[in-house]
Chain A
Amino acid sequence: MNELLNVEHLSINFHTYNGEVQAVRDASFRLNRGEVLAIVGESGSGKSVMMQTILKLTPCMLMGGRIIFDGKDITDYTDRQMQEIRGSQIGIIFQDAMTSLNPTMKIGRQITESLLRHQKLTRAEAKEKALELLRQVGINNPEKRFHQYIHNLSGGMRQRVMIAIALACKPKLLIADEPTTALDVTIQAQIMDLLARLREEVGCSIVLITHDLGVVAANADRIAVMYAGHIVESGTSDQIFYHSSHPYTRGLLESIPRLDAPRDAQLTYIGGTPPDALNPAPGCAFSARCKYSMRLCRMQAPEAHEIQPGHFCSCFLLDEEAKAVREKTGWEVLV
């Protein structure tokens, strides 16, 4: 059994005063043991909601689909059952460690809390372990930090503490929800290096949620691209970066500013705005912004094609019958 997490046809809604928001629609992906999967997408594409709902941390409703974690179907687990999994088997790091840590509780206790919950330890043993964890995430002078509060720490250190909490019980899966978004670039690199090192030490899989393709390129084994609640394309890093097959993925890649571009060159961007999640139009969610959209795209949602082993893409352009359109618009399938 090499598969750690398998999500099939997941749909998630949540209530707002304006109506039902379809945050995730028919998303499927898998994660193998020891692998780093990056979920990429713009703000509001549903990537965080999807991962937090898998942990049942959000008040969202599962509208359909299955979640299989470590061989067990956890789709219908109650909150009480999830408590046993959260923290001990799945850890999560949030974006902003400043607000994600309790400002009035000592750092040490925030770590031991998790240890004492899931492992049979005495307070002294838990403290020893917490100090070891602080050392492991690269915090100097852990004995002193143990008794401090988060306002005594810098942004990078806070995120390190967050990582120590998430990894305290050596989980099988670590969800890193935009772990570096709130940090400056040098600290970002340090944190990503730390995550890579700890992954080796702890031996966990990582789901990295981000909108920073630079972070993804350096760290992910596989990538899933999300748009408006759909996973539009997924595959290995190479497949996505060098053989991207979805117009949205290509648009994203083209939008990365290049250092070697002429100084007066316009930055590339994807025109238009993401669709309204309250009343999604039928058809492909990206069709309204897509340069290549056909009549069919606005009427029917495309199924996922497996272009190459492990490389999935949901786009009608890949269909045999769209050959004429491909030739007319100059769209190439990169295989």
Chain B
Amino acid sequence: MAKYIIKRLIISLLTIFVLCTVVFFAIKLIPGDPFSGPEYTDEVRAELNALYGFDKPIVEQYFVYMGNLLRGELGISVYYRGKPVADIIKSAFPQSFDLGIRALLTATFVGVGLGVLAALNRNRTLDYLSIIIAIIGISIPSFVVASLLQYVFAILFPIFPVARYTSFKHTILPTIALALPTIARFSRFMRTSMLEVIDSDFVKTARSKGLKKHQILFSHEIRNSLLPLLSILGPTTASLLMGSFVVESIFAVPGLGNYFVESINTQDYSLIMGLTIFYGIFLVTINFVIDILYGVVDPRVRLGGNHNG
């Protein structure tokens, strides 16, 4: 197990290194630079470029940046003058994280529940209902869903606040908007895997033991159907927790999503790099945790364990 973890750790570090390198050169390929606006005179521009080190050869810039990164410094934002990138992440991430966790939990419980119900009522009303929810969730883009939710539940029927993110009541609409596509995916996924398990031989064995319906449902059917879901849980978690530009803008949630888009629009080199690396580390870590978790719940994939027969 220890060997496996070390191996994974090295691969993770390599992944992040490659990610940094590719992103670093990719953003330099974008035409223009942060100071190409008309408000800058040539003199100011040269001064700013010198200040941020953009006048040096690109390879040198790369090594300087990577050196700073090794010391844990993400640099200073170009657009938000003087603000360290780390501070921006530190102030915005908690909101995205909070919203993401809520959406993730909602999506998991509702999605899994809906999938199970659909499978148990195969080709009956409830099954079709879950298909409709899934189609809506997958095909209607979140800016439409979010705006509709906002219009119906905050303006037509003012049950929830229109925007901002300060109390529990504020969290409900953005959570639903963010969770809906994931609910849709999870429920479809769960339905398929549940149907497979329901027809499997070991469920028949469980029934042949005289187990009660709910015993079979929980300890055999749902448990085994959840396993394939774990593999899509990693990327889903990362993308939900990292914030959504659309949902966060519509509900004025001061999260990371906004910065992602803005940093690219303004060619804020250090912020793009900082956010990308942050996202990368996050994704790699979550996938790592999911892999370990997989080994815990599904003994067949336990790696480096003792396989004696």
**Which residues on A are within 8 Å of B, measured CB to CB?**
55, 57, 79, 82-88, 91-92, 94, 96, 99-105, 113-114, 117-118, 149, 151-154, 162, 165-166, 168
Contacts and interface: CB of A to CB of B under 8 A. Distances in A.
Given A87-B208, A104-B223, 9 more contacts: A83-B210, A87-B211, A102-B206, A102-B224, A104-B298, A117-B210, A151-B299, A152-B307, A166-B208
Contacts of A57: 204, 207-208
A96 B300 contact: no
B215 interface: yes
Contact of B210 (A87, A102, A104, A153): A87
A138 B244 CA distance: 59
A94 B207 CA distance: 12
Interface string B186-224: 000000000000001110111111111101000110011
Interface range, B side: 20 to 34
Contact of A83 (B204, B211, B297): B211
A87 B307 CA distance: 31
A102 B207 contact: no
A100 B205 contact: yes
B58 interface: no
The 8 closest A-B pairs by CB, nearest first: A87-B210, A86-B210, A87-B209, A114-B209, A99-B201, A100-B201, A102-B202, A149-B299
B309 A152 contact: yes
Nearest to B226: A104
Contacts of B213: 79
B227 interface: yes
Contact of B309 (A94, A113, A154): A154
Contact of A103 (B202, B212, B307): B202
A86 B212 CA distance: 11
Given A94-B201, A99-B202, A117 B309 contact: no
6 contacts: A55-B208, A57-B207, A86-B208, A103-B300, A104-B223, A113-B206
Contacts of A168: 209
Nearest to B220: A102
A165 B205 contact: yes
Contact of B205 (A83, A84, A101, A149): A101
A101 B202 contact: yes
A118 B212 CA distance: 11
Nearest to A84: B210
A99 B200 contact: yes
B201 A86 contact: no
A85 B223 CA distance: 26
Of listed A103, A149, A154, residue having the most chain B CB within 10 A: A103
A88 B224 CA distance: 25
B292 to A, nearest CB: 16
B308 interface: yes
Nearest to A165: B209
B201 to A, nearest CB: 4
Contacts of B297: 104
Given A100-B202, A104-B227, A117 B215 contact: yes
Interface in B272-309: 297-300, 307-309
B210 A118 contact: yes
A152 B308 contact: yes
A286 B209 CA distance: 37
A104 B193 CA distance: 15
Contacts of A84: 210
Contacts of A82: 210
A69 to B, nearest CB: 14
A102 B297 CA distance: 13
Nearest to B207: A57
Nearest to B298: A104
Nearest to B306: A152
B171 to A, nearest CB: 35
A113 B208 CA distance: 12
B309 A91 contact: no
